[in-house]
Amino acid sequence: MGIAIKLSDDLVKDVSAYATMFHRSVPKQIEFWIKVGKAAEENPDLPYNFIKGTLMALEEVKRGEFEEYNPDSL
């Protein structure tokens, strides 16, 4: 369910810059930041880059963009 929320112009400006840089829409960039923030609050001992990498990896799996690890191919 979507809801309308009011955001400051400064926040929207910042979000827009990041959204453009990472090829996301403004709403998707906000959703990504919320996921990162939620994960950080739930796992305060994990570094930001680990959280970000984990969330990105989960998205890749959802899209089928992965190869199964095969230790025999080393």
Provide the CA 61 distance to its chain's centre, in angstroms. Answer: 14
User: What residues contact residue 50 under an 8 Å CB cut-off, 6+ apart?
Assistant: none
Structural domain includes residue 52: yes
**Residue 13: predicted pLDDT:** 97
Q: Residue 53's domain spans which residues?
A: 31-64
> What pLDDT, in 10s, does the model give residues 2-43?
899 999 999 999 999 999 999 999 999 999 999 999 999 999
What is the domain count for the chain?
1
Question: What is d(CA 36, CA 68) in angstroms, rounded to the nearest whole number?
Answer: 25
